[in-house]
Amino acid sequence: MLLTTDYSQAIVCPAFPAQGRTVHGGWLWLHGQRVQQILCPFTVRDAETEDDLARVAADICSSILPVGSAGLALHVFPRVPASPRLPVSPLSSLVSPLSSLLSPQSAPWLVLVASEHPASRAQLHLLREAALPGVLINPDSCPATLAGVFATGGETAARFLRGVEARGITELRELLPGIPAGRILGARYNGTVMITKAGGFGDSDAIVRAIQFFL
């Protein structure tokens, strides 16, 4: 990405303290447990608190590409004040405009969970127990029409978008902490709501709560 943009360097900090994800000593930690060392050719910054992330964000200028999670994004791109055209509430700014564009409710929701992380498995277990109507979980094939898509894990989301030849996701908003949603751009599911979540965090009811906003 540095080769195709005006950025000359990058700062890497995937910490998200609100979800128990921190960076200490160049290692990624989750809920106090060391997960993996962050190996990359760029500057890796530690952050264990929101104040730490604010200091990282303060060091980022127009020539530096910020690389991280929603935790860092909230400090690099702070929320703007409320205005008649841009509501501050994550729900009012997402559900209202997007729910009017949902496919007919006879169409199912597609849920894709490939992550083996315990957090994802717990969310999948609760989703199955909830038995929400019209929800397909990890099917072998996708129907012609969908009411929405929920994908856990960045690679899972990317694989789905590539598979349906979509160009990406547009009009992103934060639905729940660390869980963005938007609309699929291009191809057969153009305009369909898509929610994504990293595999390693989130409450056990995260998938259920996210989908219920649109049911």
Spatial distance between the Cα atoms of 34 and 39, rounded to a whole number of angstroms? 14
Same domain, 114 and 24: no
Summarize pLDDT for 114-135 with one digit per residue, the tens: 988 888 899 999 999 999 999 9
Identify the domain boundary among 76, 109, 141.
Answer: 76
Same domain, 104 and 191: yes
Overall number of domains in the chain: 2
Same domain, 68 and 107: no
Summarize pLDDT for 33-84 with one digit per residue, the tens: 998 999 999 999 999 999 999 999 999 988 999 999 888 988 998 754 444 4
Identify the domain boundary among 47, 76, 105.
Answer: 76
User: Which pLDDT score, from 0 to 100, does residue 84 have?
Assistant: 41
Same domain, 127 and 24: no
Identify the domain boundary among 11, 41, 76.
Answer: 76
Decide if 85 is inside a domain.
no
| Band (201; pLDDT cuts 50, 70, 90) | confident
The residue that leads in pLDDT, 179 or 112, is 112
Mean pLDDT of 143-157: 93
Same domain, 69 and 119: no
Decide if 84 is inside a domain.
no
Same domain, 49 and 22: yes
Look up the domain containing 13 and give its range.
2-76
Give strand pairing partners of 67.
12
Same domain, 95 and 201: yes
Same domain, 104 and 197: yes
User: Which pLDDT score, from 0 to 100, does residue 94 have?
Assistant: 47
Same domain, 170 and 103: yes
Decide if 83 is inside a domain.
no
Decide if 155 is inside a domain.
yes
Decide if 81 is inside a domain.
no
Any idea which of 82-96, 169-183, 197-211 has the lowest mean pLDDT? 82-96
Any idea which of 103-112, 123-132, 145-154, 164-173 has the lowest mean pLDDT? 103-112
Mean pLDDT, rounded, of the chain: 85
Decide if 170 is inside a domain.
yes
Decide if 37 is inside a domain.
yes
CATH code at position 149: 3.40.980.20
Same domain, 198 and 125: yes
Same domain, 58 and 129: no
